[in-house]
Chains A and B, each alone.
Chain A
Amino acid sequence: MNLTTFYLAVAGLILAPLLGGLVAGVDRVVTARLQSRMGPPLMQPFYDVGKLWSKVIPPASNWQGLFVRWALVASLASDVLLAAGADVLMCFFVQAASASFVALGAFCGSSPYSKLGAQRELFQLLAYEPVFLVAILCMAKVSGAFDAYSFMNASAQPLLFKMPLIVPGLLFVVLVKLRKSPFDISASHHMHQEVVRGVYTDYAGRDFALLEIAHWADVVVVLWICSFLWATSVVSMVATAAVFLFAALVIDNVSARLTWRHMLKVVAPISLVLATANLLWLYME
């Protein structure tokens, strides 16, 4: 590891959560505008986290603080790994570990809603993880290696032209990771939610603030990996991420009643089949 990698890693550690918070702000403003509302200020997510941090509340379980902190470290670690140009597959696994910690903490909670949320969270994990993995495998096939820098310098031509069929899959992942759909997982800020706040029900106060930061870091990882599709320059990467974000917001606003069973039985298989077809196609060439 040389010094440049180290600087990049530190930059990833600091910038990724900030960027994630900004993305969350943009998300809320754009969603409001799509519904012809004015929406909150852009900095609203930071105020929310600040407020949660300053709230003192007894935990619902002795274990939750532990799992929240592990989730936060794992989420930030996945950002750092990407920034340092490490193995994208490992970055994905670290990020999945964060999701498992969140679910585990919810299992330890005392509210039945929290446990219900944990169950559904796991099925959500089951739905998007394979698609996401296959999408990464497609990128790795074209770039010939698994590290992030190879993905970014894969070819003069954007990766998108070689893997159009993974786009629906990635969109699905973004949608899930933004915690928008399906509505009966219900962990978003949206009004269209079914049960309390699912996996987040028992987290509160400071733990919840940390979890929110972990969520921001997650969103950045996912959008970052999406942006590899058009990695010819920094501007094009940011633009790609923005396109994915906006597309996800639009889809979310027109499909507000997607349920988790529908997701597991219809959306996930279709997007997985498409992504697999793309992978096989890359091998045929």
Chain B
Amino acid sequence: MSFLKTSQIKSPWLMHFDCGSCNGCDIETLACLTPVYDVERFGIINVGNPRHADVLVVTGTVNPRNAQILKNIYSQMPDPKLVIAVGACGCSGGVFRDAPNVLGGVDKVIPVDVYVPGCPAKPEAIMDAVVTGLGKLKGILEAS
């Protein structure tokens, strides 16, 4: 693979969006950045700007108010992009999926590449999801 394609896999910049999480999954996501887990080993950086991000990590359920925001942020990310739904709520809406103000999981609004189950999801699982997503990206890049 060319240097440019390799670097796309070696430098996934990650944007974390809290859709409506109880903060459990958020704390686990941030824990990935601490010295214990240190995701920067994989070149992952937590950025605050969709225009710089390659991977969108979404925690929590989607509701009518934030669905538009999620869509906007997703559309502002440059292609190719990955979406990772973290936690039971992100995957399916979790225990809230039948609530009247909840649309459900992230995949109701934007396409999701990797699902991370758990309530909350473990940091190891989140990191594993990013690496899995990168494998998927590698497949796409090799095919192109």
Contact = CB atoms under 8 A, between A and B. Distances in A.
Interface of A: 28, 32, 35-41, 44, 46-51, 53-57, 60, 113, 189, 191, 193, 195-197, 200-205, 208
Given A197-B47, A197-B52, A37 B11 contact: no
Q: Which A-B residue pairs are the 5 nearest by beta carbons?
A: A50-B7, A57-B78, A204-B51, A47-B7, A47-B10
Contacts of B6: 47, 50
A88 B41 CA distance: 39
B38 interface: yes
A35 B35 contact: yes
Contact of A44 (B43, B49, B78): B43
Contacts of B35: 35-37
A189 to B, nearest CB: 5
Interface of B: 3-8, 10-11, 13, 33, 35, 38, 40-43, 45-49, 51-52, 54, 78-79
A53 B4 contact: yes
Nearest to B5: A54
B48 A193 contact: yes
Contact of A189 (B7, B10, B45, B54): B45
A14 to B, nearest CB: 17
Contacts, number: 84
13 contacts: A38-B40, A39-B41, A44-B11, A48-B11, A49-B7, A50-B3, A54-B5, A54-B7, A55-B54, A191-B33, A191-B46, A193-B48, A201-B49
Contacts of A191: 33, 46
Contacts of A44: 10-11, 43
Contacts of A36: 35
Nearest to A204: B51
Contact of A47 (B40, B43, B47, B79): B43
Nearest to B34: A37
Contacts of B33: 191
Given A51-B4, A197-B47, 14 more contacts: A32-B38, A37-B38, A39-B41, A40-B42, A40-B43, A50-B3, A50-B8, A51-B7, A51-B8, A51-B11, A53-B4, A57-B79, A205-B78, A208-B52
Contacts of B42: 40
A40 B38 CA distance: 9
Given A35-B35, A57-B51, A191-B46, A40 B78 contact: no
Contacts of B45: 189
B120 to A, nearest CB: 20
Contacts of A208: 52
A269 B38 CA distance: 38
A57 B51 CA distance: 8
Nearest to B81: A55
Given A36-B35, A191-B33, A28 B40 contact: yes
A104 B38 CA distance: 36
A115 to B, nearest CB: 14
A35 B34 CA distance: 9
Most buried by A among B5, B47, B78: B78
B49 A197 contact: yes
Contact of B4 (A28, A37, A50, A189): A50
A20 B126 CA distance: 33
Most buried by A among B5, B33, B42, B43: B43
A109 B71 CA distance: 22
Contacts of A48: 7, 11, 13, 43
A284 B75 CA distance: 63
B11 A204 contact: no
Given A38-B41, A44-B43, A50-B4, A196 B78 contact: no
